[in-house]
């Protein structure tokens, strides 16, 4: 079963409060999501493997550490996931960015992939799938499935806010995927919104309604 990491760092919790606030406008909302994504990236990379190399400081030779593991791929789920990409790239500027888009089939109500573009070396990368809201979990399950179908072996899911239902669905469908969130809220409402949540993340990021 994948672990759920609730990142309760005070800076993240402070910013999440203003992200939730309906009086926060588009510009500030976008900036706050970007900042929280950077802070969460710090936590999601905590277990990245290191190796020792030799460097020469101005004073002497030194054995020091550099990242040793797989290269990283960030995959935002369209559209709201895009709002978290730049924040992660601030910490991991060499990461490559794929995109996955899914729509809900009106008859089966199941998410269907309509767009997928990933870095060519999928098997060699460690992927961070990002979406601000983990609501029913249906879209994230399918997005992760899309990556696995193309050969992705190591995947983490990073969201701002999750509903307990969404967490359970991911853990069931993808027990190998750890989930990183800033908060797990109370429930989903009848329209699939997270309560209390923050409303429609895509609309609030892009100023649409
Ligand atoms: N997607 C959103 O943007 N908000 C929710 O509350 C649920 C899904």
For the question of residue 150 being annotated catalytic, the response is no
- The arrangement of secondary structure in 4-206, i.e. its CATH architecture, is 3-Layer(aba) Sandwich (3.40)
Q: Is 162 in the pocket of ligand 1 (CB under 6 A)?
A: no
What average pLDDT score do residues 16-21 get?
A: 98
The fraction of the chain above a pLDDT of 90, given in percent, is 94
Q: Is 201 in the pocket of ligand 1 (CB under 6 A)?
A: yes
202, two tokens: 């895509």
Nearest C-alpha neighbor of 97 from the set 86, 105, 108: 86
63, two tokens: 């054995």
Q: Ligand 1, residue 192: give the atom nearest the CA.
A: 7
Q: Is 84 in the pocket of ligand 1 (CB under 6 A)?
A: no
Residue 201, φ and ψ in degrees, nearest 5: -60, -40
What average pLDDT score do residues 184-209 get?
A: 96
Q: Is the pLDDT of residue 106 over 90?
A: no
90, two tokens: 């601030």
pLDDT of residue 109: 78
pLDDT of residue 67: 92
pLDDT tens-digit map of 41-80: 999 999 999 999 999 999 999 999 999 988 999 999 999 9
Would you tell me the crossing angle of helices 10-20 and 26-44 to the nearest 10 degrees? 150
Residues with Cβ within 8 Å of residue 7, at least 6 apart in sequence = 39, 40, 43, 180, 181, 182
User: How would residue 2 be classed by pLDDT, with cut points 50, 70 and 90?
Assistant: confident
> Ligand 1 centre from 48 Cα, in Å?
30
Where b means 16+ CB within 10 Å and e means fewer, 77-113 reads bbbbbbbbbebbbebbeebbbbbbbbeeeeeeeebee
Annotated binding-site positions: 79, 104, 131-139, 194, 199-201
pLDDT tens-digit map of 135-173: 999 999 999 999 999 999 999 999 999 999 999 999 999
53, two tokens: 């190399």
What average pLDDT score do residues 20-47 get?
A: 97
> Ligand 1 centre from 26 Cα, in Å?
16
> Ligand 1 centre from 199 Cα, in Å?
6
Q: Tell me how far apart the alpha carbons of residues 83 and 197 are, in angstroms, rounded to a whole number.
A: 16
**pTM of the entire structure?**
0.95
């Amino acid at each position: 079963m994948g672990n759920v990491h609730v990142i309760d760092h005070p800076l993240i919790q402070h910013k999440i409060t203003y992200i939730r606030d309906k009086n926060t406008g588009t510009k500030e909302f976008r900036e706050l999501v970007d900042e929280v994504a950077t802070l969460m990236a710090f936590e999601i990379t905590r277990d990245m493997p290191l190796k020792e190399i030799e460097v020469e400081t101005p004073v002497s030779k030194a054995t020091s550490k550099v990242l040793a593991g797989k290269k990283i791929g960030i995959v935002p789920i369209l559209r709201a996931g895009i709002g978290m990409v730049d924040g992660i790239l601030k910490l991991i500027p060499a990461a490559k960015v794929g995109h996955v888009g899914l729509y809900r089939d009106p008859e089966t109500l199941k998410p269907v992939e309509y767009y997928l573009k990933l870095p060519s070396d999928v098997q060699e990368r460690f992927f961070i799938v990002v979406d601000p809201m983990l609501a029913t979990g249906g879209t994230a399950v399918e997005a992760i499935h899309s990556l696995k179908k193309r050969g992705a072996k190591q995947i983490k899911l990073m969201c701002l806010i999750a509903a307990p239902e969404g967490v359970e669905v991911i853990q069931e469908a993808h027990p190998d995927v750890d989930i990183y969130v800033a908060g797990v809220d109370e429930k989903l409402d009848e329209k699939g919104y997270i309560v209390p949540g923050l409303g429609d993340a895509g609309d609030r990021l892009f100023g649409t309604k």
